[in-house]
Amino acid sequence: MAMSFDAYMRDMVQPMRDELTRIGVQELRTPEEVQEQLEDAKGTALLVINSVCGCAAGQCRPGVAKALQGEAKPDHLFTVFAGQDKEATAKAREYIDYPPSSPSIALFKDGELVHFIQRHQIEDRSADMIAADLTEAFEKYCR
């Protein structure tokens, strides 16, 4: 029996999801989960809008992982997957006052967006540069 396209895509995308969840980032798969977690998050919350593109694999996810090895870290770690969990991603974007961009990385403090890295700031930078950017934001907002 042939595998459906959706099942095939889920299988292909799972390792991209695992790259973040195995380092403690919680997936938000529904609009309700996004609303519940982001609206009630006290302290700092990191939201990674994950995607299948090459810059997510080469720069974004590795940059996030490296930044999370530092001393200052957000209180909450979340991710939505653009193109996969479409409704959850759309809900997450309601909290970000920037045009839709994936991958991208948002840092909130007490529900307020305080730092945002858009796709164009990921594509042309290395994972180390993204990690340095995030580490600086963590030092400023997560202490």
Query: What is the residue-level pLDDT of the chain in tens, covering all 143 positions?
Result: 566 666 767 788 999 999 999 999 999 999 999 999 998 889 999 999 999 988 888 899 999 999 999 999 999 999 999 999 999 999 999 999 999 999 999 999 999 999 999 999 999 899 999 999 999 999 999 99
What's residue 66's pLDDT?
A: 98
Residues carrying an active site annotation: 53, 55
What's residue 3's pLDDT?
A: 64
What's residue 53's pLDDT?
A: 85
> Could you tell me the CA-to-CA distances from 16 to 55, 63, 85, 92 in Å, in that order?
12, 14, 13, 19
What's residue 11's pLDDT?
A: 83
What's residue 55's pLDDT?
A: 81
Q: Is 58 exposed, middle or buried (0-12, 13-18, 19+ CB in 10 A)?
A: middle
**Is pTM, for the whole model, over 0.85?**
yes
Q: How far apart are CA 138 and CA 44, in angstroms?
A: 9
Q: Which CATH number, 3.40.309.10, 1.10.3720.10, 3.40.30.10, 3.40.50.12240, labels domain 5-141? A: 3.40.30.10
Residue spans of the domains in the chain: they are 5-141
